[in-house]
Amino acid sequence: MTQRTRPRSREPAPDEPLTAREAIALVREYLAEMTDGEPTRTTSVTPTESGGWIIEVEAVEDRRIPSSGDILGLYEVEIDFSGEMLAYRRTRRYMRGQTLDGGGQ
């Protein structure tokens, strides 16, 4: 199976919007550049009404030894149908292994 690749930004092509896979790859690149963190896991991908995507990605913000002490950030990124980032924000910061319903924040 061959994977299509696109440059980070491209001219809008309404007949060829970004696929979820392409959007995830772009968002992971954006986050690595903007936060200096290491994106580790995509937690959600939601299409927008305008043809873009809202994607949540977990990123390591501070590595510790042992790794169970790593500090992670959960980021929400919105991109348009052509791959341009519209917004991003950190929605949560926590230690690896911490959960919301298990004594987390």
Q: What is the pLDDT of residue 17?
A: 85
User: Looking at residues 85-105, what average pLDDT do you find?
Assistant: 80
pTM of the model: 0.77
Q: Is residue 56 part of a domain?
A: yes
Whole-angstrom distance, CA of residue 36 vs CA of residue 46: 24
Q: What is the pLDDT of residue 4?
A: 44
pLDDT at 5 > cutoff 50? no
As for how many domains the chain has, the answer is: 1
User: Looking at residues 41-66, what average pLDDT do you find?
Assistant: 95
- Residue 55: which of 29, 38, 32, 78 has the closest Cα? 78
Domain range for 62 is 41-95
Q: Is residue 7 part of a domain?
A: no
Q: What is the pLDDT of residue 54?
A: 98
% of residues, the chain, pLDDT over 90? 66
